[in-house]
Amino acid sequence: MRCDSLPTLARCRFLPRLIGTFLLVVAGFAGASEAAQPLRPVDACFFDNDQTLLVVCQRSGEVLALDSTSGAVKTRLTVGGDLTAIERLPGGTAWAVDTAGDRLIEIDLEAGKLIAKSTIDCVRSPVSVIAGEANQLLVAGLWSRQVTCVARPAIDEPARPVWTQNLNFSPKTLRLLQPENVVLAVDAFGSQIAYLDASTGEQLRQIEFYGHRIRGMVDDPDGKRLIVSHQMLNSAAQSSNNDIHWGMMVSNDLRWLDRGRVMEADEENFYKDGHIDPIGIVGQGGADPNDLVCTVDGIVIVPLGGANEVAIGHEEFYELARLPVGINPVAVAVDSRGKTGWVVNRLGDSLTKIDIGERSVLKTVRLSEDWTPTTSELGERLFHDASLAHDGWMSCSSCHPGGHAVNERADNLSDGAYTSPKRVLSLLGRADTAPFGWIGADEKLEAQLQRTVRTTMQGHNKLTGEQVTQLTAFLESLVPPPPVVDASIPEVGASIARGRAIFQRQGCNDCHAGSKYTSAELYDVGLEDELGHTRFNPPSLLGVGQRGPRYFHDLRAESLEAVFTEHKHTLDQPLSQPDLEDLLTFLRSL
């Protein structure tokens, strides 16, 4: 358990926020002469006895209050930042999550107007919040790789940290299990689930879930089952037309788990008494299931981000009904009776109202009528569009959520033949790091895109020149993730300097050179794949600390530390423990 990191983070938080506020002011002055911008809705919740729908907009930094019947905007509040989620918690107020500002914003509706009642500073890169025990909030920090608990002793007192727990993966979804008082912290990219004591933050254990891109985790109405929405990338399957056609390479699923089994320490029984329902059938895949809701009647609603649809069904139904909604649906809010839902279409800048009982679309509300997508924004749509793949089983985002990467292996033709699955590479900050792929098969990003759609996704149509331009523009906009460690802490900065010297002394910069920490050559570093390849292109080390817990092309290293201790990566002699710690700190600062 660690609580000492929050005060340190608070010291360096205000400058980015001031800069963000300044940019918003500048943008306001420039708005009259610039093209209209999308609001980018990302999450919603019902409020005010189901009369109001609160929607947070990532791009505009706004919270909208809509009439839940008509969808008309009643009032709006600009809070700035990079809003990623909103959650209505017990007590009547809602909390919006600002990833850029490292803060939670308490939202209320008074006299028909939205107000920001209070602000709580929390971990770096917060992406979700749920209610803990009385007056406590549990927050997942994506890039800080932390879960924190903050509390307000009284309504007029400032919040204080209760505990902060470091993880070896990037959490996103949180679920509080009661009466066990255990928090499940779920990997945003890979397959890890950590069990945390909700009172102390102590990590009780960690399991590897059979699946990745876990976006939803809710209880069924009687509290006996835990429902999980996720995907599975099968490294034993190949990116052939046949394996994709039958949903064998990438599957999209709802998994029903017995709550008692979930709490058992014996992982072998984790899936016992549970079952799995596939989302998608031959000819109609259901790519990218996102957050899900289960109504009081046991009806499950799942937005399918890659299919531009929402899936609706009950546990006893094998096949889910599918309704077309807007572009890239990511969230759904359902009223307390489970009769009406609003789907949030992130890249379409719209909301879709659905009748859950009738399985029908009632209306679509557009939030920015005059918006014309830029080339990069059109590329982002393609990146999340499963129609590029055979039968719509996957999108680029399926293996690269958020532009990053699942911590899994895929068997495709990137190395010239099947039977040699390799881990999926992150796309964050990769635009200027040619050649691409583990064996450097493509010298240009455009060629890599064509190869991916044609052979990995088995797309029926070659990308047009315009589509290549759009996708390239989007990929070039992706920056590396922030480092895990905070270099502003003096003792950390000193360790980074020592680690950099070790990095250079060991000759690591021969392969991982320059500002991108990579090079265009192929190197033999003592590894070999199933096809006999021994020479690999070194991945950029920017953001390397965010790629674990496993490393190397075949995930053989269980941690970044194991790269050097167990596998002796390029080392003639073992490093002393102090030198190893400094080297790891340096790598995690990139």
pLDDT in tens, 254-286: 999 999 999 998 888 899 999 999 999 999 999
Q: Tokens standing for 178?
A: 């009661």
> For the segment 357-387, what is each residue's pLDDT rounded down to a tens digit?
999 999 999 999 888 999 999 999 999 999 9
User: Is 197 part of any domain?
Assistant: no
- Got the DSSP string for 483-544? PSS-TTSHHHHHHHHHHHHHHHHTTGGGTS-TTTT--SS-EE-S---TT---EEPPPP-TTG
Mean pLDDT of the chain: 90
Q: How many CA atoms are closer than 13 Å to the CA of 521, on its beta-carbon side?
A: 8
Q: Do 149 and 120 share a structural domain? A: yes
**552 in the same domain as 470:** no
- The verdict on 54 and 80 lying in the same domain is yes
Q: Is residue 247 part of a domain?
A: no
Residue 404 lies in a domain: yes
Nearest to 539 by CA among 557, 513, 564: 513
Q: Taking residues 434-463, what's their average pLDDT?
A: 90
Predicted local distance difference test score (pLDDT) of residue 486:
85
Residue 478 C-beta-side C-alpha neighbours within 13 Å: 24
Tell me the residue range of the domain where 559 lies: 490-588
Same domain, 121 and 76: yes
Q: Are residues 384 and 439 in the same domain?
A: yes
Q: What pLDDT was estimated at residue 24?
A: 35
Tell me whether residue 143 is in a domain.
yes
What pLDDT sits at residue 318? Answer: 65
pLDDT at 248 over 90: yes
pLDDT in tens, 39-82: 999 999 999 999 999 999 999 999 999 999 999 999 999 999 99
Q: Which amino acid is at 320?
A: L
pLDDT band, residue 16 (cuts 50/70/90): very low
In a domain, 80, yes or no: yes
Cβ-based neighbours of 112, under 8 Å, separated by 6 or more: 74, 75
Q: Is the confidence at residue 550, as pLDDT, over 50?
A: yes
Do 494 and 472 share a structural domain?
no
pLDDT of residue 35: 59
Least confident of 4-18, 24-38, 257-271, 454-468: 4-18
Residue 530 has pLDDT above 60, yes or no: yes
User: Which residues make Cβ contacts (< 8 Å) with residue 528, sequence separation at least 6?
Assistant: 534
Cβ neighbours for 445, distance < 8 A, ≥ 6 positions apart: 431, 434, 436, 472, 475, 476
Give Cα 524 to chain centroid, integer Å: 33
Same domain, 469 and 495: no
Residue 529 falls inside a structural domain: yes
| Cα–Cα distance for residue pair 537/438, rounded to 1 Å | 5
Asked whether residue 531 falls in the same domain as residue 408, the answer is no
Residue 29 scores a pLDDT above 90: no
Q: Give the residue from 452, 476, 500 where a domain finishes.
A: 476
Tokens representing 165?
């727990």
pLDDT at 211 over 50: yes
Same domain membership, residue 509 and residue 407: no
SS3 of 248, please? coil
418: CATH? 1.10.760.10
Q: How many CB atoms lie within 10 A of CB 260?
A: 12
- Res 96 pLDDT > 90: yes
User: What is the tens place of the pLDDT at every residue in 155-177?
Assistant: 677 788 899 999 999 999 999 99
CATH number at residue 20: 2.130.10.10
Which of 148, 165, 182 is a domain's end point? 165
pLDDT of the residue at 155: 67
Q: Is the pLDDT of residue 153 over 80?
A: no
- Cα separation values, 175 from 169, 215, 227, 581, Å: 16, 11, 11, 33
Please list, in sequence order, all residues whose beta carbon lies within 8 angstroms of the beta carbon of residue 573, skipping any fewer than 6 positions away: none
Domains identified in the chain, total number: 3
pTM of the model: 0.92
The span from the CA of 52 to the CA of 521, in Å, is 58
Over residues 412-416, the mean pLDDT reads: 86
Please give the average per-residue pLDDT across 419-426, as a whole number. Answer: 94
Domain endpoint, select from 165, 180, 197: 165
Give SS3 for 76. Answer: strand
| 136 has pLDDT over 60 | yes
The answer on 556 and 459 residing in a single domain is: no
pLDDT band at 442 (very low <50, low <70, confident <90, very high): confident
**Are 507 and 455 contained in the same domain?**
no
Q: Which residues contact 414 (CB under 8 A, 6 or more apart)?
A: 422, 437, 438, 439, 441, 451, 455, 456
Angle (CA) 65-336-221 rounded to 5° is: 140
Element (H, E) at 186: strand 182-187
pLDDT at 2: 34
- Give the tens place of pLDDT for each residue, 297-350: 999 999 999 999 999 998 877 678 999 999 999 999 999 999 999 999 999 999
Q: 115 and 56 in one domain?
A: yes
